Amino acid sequence: MAIHKRDRNFTKIMDEVDVESIPIHFVGFITLTLTDGNKIKFTRDEINKVSSIEEFLITSGVAGDIVDMHIELDYDHIEQDVTAQVNQLLNKNESDD
């Protein structure tokens, strides 16, 4: 992942990351489109009752009728988590000196 010095915007960095697996606690909401055209939007509170997106889809009750899925990430939550982990790592390294 290349990070250009002139543009360290967190959203820009996130756009450059290839995501293979999304931790469920970073999902803001999921919208499912069903075979009949209806769309169901699930909120963070509904999603976080399970441990994975796969488990969520299985327990949603409409798994066989899903034709499309839109996952919206909570970028603020991701940024806070990454920032906290980086700060912890940097502070740990400073104390080692």
Q: Is the pLDDT of residue 2 over 90?
A: no
CB atoms within 10 A of CB 63: 12
Cα 6–chain centre separation: 26
CB atoms within 10 A of CB 66: 14
pLDDT digits (tens, 9 = 90+) for 32-51: 999 999 999 999 999 888 98
Dihedral sign for Cα 63, 21, 85, 30, please: negative
Extents of the domains making up the chain: 24-96
| 73 backbone dihedrals φ, ψ, rounded to 5° | -85, 150
Query: Which pLDDT band, with edges at 50, 70 and 90, does 76 fall under?
Result: confident
Q: Is the pLDDT of residue 15 over 90?
A: no
**How much is the pLDDT for 68?**
92
Query: Which pLDDT band, with edges at 50, 70 and 90, does 22 fall under?
Result: confident
